[in-house]
Amino acid sequence: MSEDAKTVVKGLKGIKAADSSICEIDGEIGKLIYRGYNIDDLCAHSTYEEVAFLLLYSELPNQTQLDQFHDSLTAHATAPPEVLAALKALPKDVAPMAALRTAVSVLGHYDPLAEQESDESNKENAVRLIAVLPTLTAAIRRLRDGHEPIAPKPELSISANFMYMLNGEEPSADAAKAMDLILILHAEHGFNASTFSARVIIATLTDMYSAITGAIGALKGKLHGGANTEVLKTLQSVGGVEDVAGWVADVRSRKGKFMGFGHAVYQTQDPRAKHLKEYSQKLGQEAGDTKWYDLSIEIESQVVAEIGRQCNVDFFSASVQHYMGIPGDLFTCIFASSRIAGWCAHVLEQISDNKIIRPSSHYTGPDERSYVPISER
């Protein structure tokens, strides 16, 4: 094997492709940092609006800045009627993530700043995307269910508005906080596949809507954004707590996957998981039915004991969102509506010191050969 071949790293695991000041992940001890702030502190004390501001502007806002940011988000939260019309024209059985990908692409046509390249216009585009993705996700759910989309209420936070637009009624305090946690915890996670896709695309100096459309396309893949949907399918198929041991044994015997366990980065427990675990219990108690929490706890206990892998953020997010009345196939759209803050932060960072991302490949084809005329082949 040549020296060049030895340097190939499939999937680019461990390869540092750029400097970034946005996110630090320590997989060995299970630590996640957004611009210097531990995710535990942000979950305990912050809101998604504050976290989105932090990711975009590098610092947490003061009250005046937060109020202005809320006003900007409110101004951009209503989806253009032309975009809603495009969603209505889609086939009724279209996958929600495919619909969201289309909606963002169409949205770019109705943003007068979409093709401008100034820092100010790019940040305005970022704010608009952060504001409107929950609205688009909620509209996709409403239209599929045969209902008209609901316009956001200006007085509500992003998380409370999201729940209101999804379900048609304002959420309880616990449900709104759970959505806030989901948005904070999924907002950013380094150079994952969708984020790196966004950076590769924007590095060509295209527009932000193209970069975010590409990121949504990457997140749509089942190896990236769909794990919590699979966790919900597992919960619904296992049965009851008494059936968990048999299910674990069956998965092990056929060498299947335990969805929601293990992580490509974390060698210990995903630091995001414990926050959603707490709210799975709270929402179950609020609903008067802790079945999904109890089942999740039993599965966690037995899988950890059997294979030694800790659960990740996807595991308890499944039961939390199920308690919130969100259908499983919409979970990845919720993920995108959160990760949009991180995507936009990375897009802005990439173009602030841009160099087109153009790696090389190790050629494994035949040596140079002579062309043979078609009559002689």
- Tell me the pLDDT of the chain averaged across its residues: 93
pLDDT of residue 179: 96
Radius of gyration of the chain (CA): 22
Average pLDDT over residues 236-256: 93
**Position 1 confidence tier, pLDDT thresholds 50, 70, 90:** very low
Confidence at 117, pLDDT banded by 50, 70, 90: confident
Give the domains, in start order, of the chain with CATH numbers.
Answer: 19-225+328-352 (1.10.580.10), 227-323 (1.10.230.10)
Q: Report pLDDT digits (tens) over 30-70.
A: 899 999 999 999 999 999 999 999 999 999 999 999 999 99
pLDDT of residue 265: 86
What pLDDT sits at residue 121?
94
Active site residues: 263, 314
Q: What is the pLDDT of residue 227?
A: 85
Cα-Cα end-to-end distance for the chain: 31
Q: Which residue has the higher pLDDT, 312 or 264?
A: 312
**Which residues touch 125 (CB under 8 Å, ≥6 apart)?**
111, 113, 114, 207, 208, 209, 344
- In the chain, % of residues over pLDDT 90: 83
pLDDT in the model for residue 209: 97
Q: How far is CA 213 from CA 207, 331, 340, in A?
A: 10, 18, 11
Q: Which of 223, 198, 204 is nearest to 104 (CA)?
A: 198
Please check the confidence at residue 282 and state whether its pLDDT lies above 80: yes
- What digits encode the pLDDT tens for the residues 339-368? 999 999 999 999 999 999 999 888 999 999
pLDDT tens-place string over residues 154-184: 999 999 999 999 999 999 999 999 999 999 9
Please report which helix (H) or strand (E) contains residue 332, including its range.
helix 331-352
> Per-residue pLDDT for 92 more than 90?
no
Residue 5 confidence (pLDDT) above 80: no
Other C-beta atoms within 10 Å of 361: how many? 7
Token digits for 166? 């999804």
Distance CA 59, CA 56 (A): 8
Nearest to 339 by CA among 58, 52, 41: 52
Lowest mean pLDDT segment, chosen from 122-136, 229-243, 343-357: 229-243
CA distance 130 to 27: 28
Query: Is the pLDDT reported for residue 128 higher than 90?
Result: yes
Write down the pLDDT at residue 6.
62
Please check the confidence at residue 2 and state whether its pLDDT lies above 80: no
